A and B are shown apart, each in its own frame.
Chain A
Amino acid sequence: MAMTHGTDVDAERRAPARRMRSRRPDHRHSAQARAEKNNHPGRFLVPAFVVLGIFFFLPTVYNFVYAFTDWSGFKSEINFVGFDNFQNLASSGTLFSSLRITLVYAVLVAIFQNVFGLALAVLLERDTRLNRFARVCFFIPVVMSALAVGYIFQALLKPEGALNGVVGAVLGTDVTVAWLGSTTWTIVVVALIHAWKWMGLSMLIYLAGLKTMPEDILEAARIDGASTWKAFWAVRFPLLAPAVTFSVATALLGSMNGFDIVQATTEGGPARTTEILNIFIYRTFGQGLFAQATTMSLILFLMVVVLAFPVIRTLRKREEVL
């Protein structure tokens, strides 16, 4: 991902060296290539590519085939049906609503997870004993199963759940807010839960970025009379660009592929307003509508291709400005 680009940058940096090398006599160049070939034989790549080919690329190729068939659990033969699956999904409105929901979910998660992660990293930056303990605590949700996290928050947020119990006790009345029952706001609540689970990872990424920051630059900002707040936004935050790229990309990809937390909190409800693509795929697959599930899987694939690469490129560009 980000790194294909990284190698490009490296290649650019190495370009002058390579130009010098190519001025050498040709036979030396080919001898070097031969040595490279003998010492690092291509056959070492074969097992990795066999596994990737069979278990990753081939099913993806199948996606482009079976999305155009009537493959289902109800009959044994499979026929080509052209764009019927796409048409059905589009005309029922499912296609665009699922796409929109997945996109909204991914963007919300990316924002929440990174804002929380960055805030925690800044708060816990100094290496005190308490801060180290707090970092471990905030990383526990990352280690836990996402399914378990979903159930915890369902128990917290359901109408007769723990949160309403506390609010009710404080107010002295019975409170039965359905925190996961709004057709508008539930997606935000679920995105917050997703962000809660993964904010520890973003925190670590930002901490790593803060630690590797050259100190003389900060010193310069201080001498220039910048306040801590100004110094953070004008100097330190721009320098965090590589960490932002990594953390935002991870959050976006992770939430576009999300399933567990949504399944464990809302199962796509209420009224299918939190039905992200993987929930739809899981549900239709369970109903035996394999071709429809495949079509949505292909749509997820295309969505990631269309969105992830430009996002990563934009974030990388921002890094280069520095």
Chain B
Amino acid sequence: MSGARSGALSTTLSGTGHRSMRDGPAGRSKRRRSFAARAQPVVVILLVALLVGVPLWLVVATAGKSQGEALTPDFSLPTEWHLFGNIAEVWDRGRVPAAFAGSMLVMVPAVFGVLLLGSMGAWVLARRSSRFFAVLYAGAISGIVLPPAVVTIVLLLRQLGLAGSAVGMIGVYMGIYMSTVVFFVTGFIRTIPVQLEEAARVDGAGPAKVFARIILPLLRPVLATATILICLYVWNDVFYAFFVIGGRIDTLPLNLFQVASAGLYLNNWHLIFTYVVVMSLPLVVVFIVAQRRIISGITSGAVK
């Protein structure tokens, strides 16, 4: 083992690609490999069906059932599809239009704000090299690790007169995800040569113009990834929303929580899962349509 390792690390050879590894060195391992290669698609299909297909099927099947049929959730097909009737009922009981509006009202400004302010800050943090700015940078990204103080945020917002307001919620989300944005964008800006800015500066552009005209357009890939991640977190968040705007503003997860808390008691599994379908559909559709870009965006951002 150690021999293989040291050999691997000390020898540098012009490889023809690791795919050739699949043809193993010995005949016996070759046969085993090809068996593994043939089994792989079967294993993949089984795993997808079992790990993802089964739970999602339970959601869709139960969402299509009547209350009586859904009393004890199982994998059987609904004898008659009630999906649209259930959606109509949930639409009403779960106040879906208000919740959708509330979710958008909070998510859009929070994501836009945190990306803009975070990028502005990240630009300066990436370009200034003094010790003072290194300390500021450490402070700015500390929120990636540190958990937000959810309880005292409520008190603070009350003192600021922002309790239960959309502005308060937007501020809280911006505070929570600012560190993530600063971290990703600073890392990205450090790979952009300063010379690109200098060309514009020679033409007499001030810092604001350089940032808006040169830097911001170049940030598109990293901002796209950050947008997706933060939208995901904000759209699905129920914990922080519960503390800050619970009972005041409807959001989709808050109302799901409400429908489910009442519904579990009454065994309304058909309504709970109908709500899950209604709530998850926008995000899942966006994801499936844009999956190639989303996946490559996240993978290139994750490992540096």
Q: Which listed residue, A62, A221, A238, touches B7 by the CB 8 Å rule?
A: A221
Task: Check A93 for interface membership: any CB of B closer than 8 A.
Answer: no
Q: Are A62 and B8 in contact (CB under 8 A)?
A: no
Q: How far, in angstroms, from A223 to B14 measured CA to CA in the complex? A: 12
Q: Are A228 and B33 in contact (CB under 8 A)?
A: yes
Q: Are A281 and B150 in contact (CB under 8 A)?
A: yes
Q: Are B299 and A207 in contact (CB under 8 A)?
A: yes
Q: How far, in angstroms, from A59 to B138 measured CA to CA in the complex? A: 19
Q: Are A137 and B48 in contact (CB under 8 A)?
A: yes
Near A by CB (< 8 A), chain B positions 249-304 give 252-253, 256-257, 260, 264, 269, 272-273, 276, 279-280, 283-284, 287-288, 291, 295, 298-300, 302-304
Q: Are B303 and A212 in contact (CB under 8 A)?
A: yes
The segment from B81-89, B90-98, B175-183 found at the interface with A is: B175-183
A213's nearest neighbour on chain B, judged by CB, is: B18
In this complex, how many residues of chain B approach chain A with their Cβ under 8 Å: the count is 123
A120's nearest neighbour on chain B, judged by CB, is: B47
Q: Are B20 and A219 in contact (CB under 8 A)?
A: yes
Q: Are A4 and B148 in contact (CB under 8 A)?
A: no
Task: Write out, one digit per residue, whether chain A residues 81-123 have a CB within 8 A of any chain B CB (1) or not (0).
Answer: 0000000000000000000000000000000000000001001
Q: Are B147 and A217 in contact (CB under 8 A)?
A: no
Question: Is chain A's binding surface mostly helix, strand, loop or mixed?
Answer: helix
Task: Check B219 for interface membership: any CB of A closer than 8 A.
Answer: no
Q: How far, in angstroms, from A126 to B211 measured CA to CA in the complex? A: 40
Near A by CB (< 8 A), chain B positions 188-215 give 197, 201, 207, 210-211
**With a CB–CB cut-off of 8 A, which chain B residues contact A320?**
none
Q: Are B187 and A3 in contact (CB under 8 A)?
A: yes
**With a CB–CB cut-off of 8 A, which chain B residues contact A55?**
153, 171-172, 174-176
Task: Check A130 for interface membership: any CB of B closer than 8 A.
Answer: yes
Q: How far, in angstroms, from A147 to B237 measured CA to CA in the complex? A: 9
The answer to whether residues A66 and B143 also contact, given A39-B207, A222-B21 and a CB cut-off of 8 A, is no
The answer to whether residues A56 and B207 also contact, given A66-B152, A219-B18, A246-B302 and a CB cut-off of 8 A, is no
Q: Are A204 and B295 in contact (CB under 8 A)?
A: yes
Output the least CB separation between A187 and chain B (Å). 19
Q: Are A51 and B175 in contact (CB under 8 A)?
A: yes
Q: Are B12 and A216 in contact (CB under 8 A)?
A: yes
Near B by CB (< 8 A), chain A positions 239-267 give 242-243, 246, 253, 256-257, 259-260, 264
**With a CB–CB cut-off of 8 A, which chain A residues contact B117?**
47-48, 51
Q: Are A153 and B55 in contact (CB under 8 A)?
A: yes
Task: Check A235 for interface membership: any CB of B closer than 8 A.
Answer: yes
Task: Check A75 for interface membership: any CB of B closer than 8 A.
Answer: no
Q: Which listed residue, A44, A259, A293, touches B239 by the CB 8 Å rule?
A: A259
Inter-chain contact total with CB atoms closer than 8 Å? 347
Q: Are B147 and A257 in contact (CB under 8 A)?
A: yes
A247's nearest neighbour on chain B, judged by CB, is: B302
Output the least CB separation between A142 and chain B (Å). 8
Q: Are A228 and B137 in contact (CB under 8 A)?
A: no
Task: Check B220 for interface membership: any CB of A closer than 8 A.
Answer: no
Q: How far, in angstroms, from A62 to B29 measured CA to CA in the complex? A: 63
**With a CB–CB cut-off of 8 A, which chain A residues contact B179?**
52, 56
Output the least CB separation between A253 and chain B (Å). 6
Q: Which listed residue, B4, B141, B145, B280, touches A230 by the CB 8 Å rule?
A: B4
**With a CB–CB cut-off of 8 A, which chain A residues contact B8?**
217-218, 220-221, 224, 226, 231, 234-235
The answer to whether residues A219 and B151 also contact, given A49-B121, A204-B298 and a CB cut-off of 8 A, is no
Q: Which listed residue, A131, A138, A222, A256, touches B20 by the CB 8 Å rule?
A: A222
Q: Are A134 and B280 in contact (CB under 8 A)?
A: no
The answer to whether residues A130 and B45 also contact, given A123-B40, A221-B8, A224-B4 and a CB cut-off of 8 A, is yes
Q: Which listed residue, B19, B29, B123, B243, touches A40 by the CB 8 Å rule?
A: B123
Binding site for A on B (CB under 8 A): 1-5, 7-9, 11-22, 24-25, 29, 33, 40-41, 43-45, 47-48, 51-53, 55-56, 58-59, 62, 72-75, 113-114, 117-118, 120-121, 123-125, 127-130, 134, 136-141, 143-153, 155-156, 160, 171-172, 174-176, 178-179, 182-183, 187, 197, 201, 207, 210-211, 232, 235-236, 238-239, 242-243, 252-253, 256-257, 260, 264, 269, 272-273, 276, 279-280, 283-284, 287-288, 291, 295, 298-300, 302-304
Q: List 18 A-B contacts (CB under 8 A).
A: A4-B141, A42-B128, A52-B143, A66-B151, A124-B44, A128-B41, A140-B56, A145-B238, A147-B256, A151-B273, A215-B17, A220-B7, A224-B11, A238-B5, A256-B147, A290-B155, A294-B151, A298-B149
Known: A39-B207, A235-B5. 10 other contacts (CB 8 A): A49-B121, A51-B113, A51-B175, A66-B152, A165-B75, A218-B15, A219-B14, A222-B21, A282-B242, A309-B145
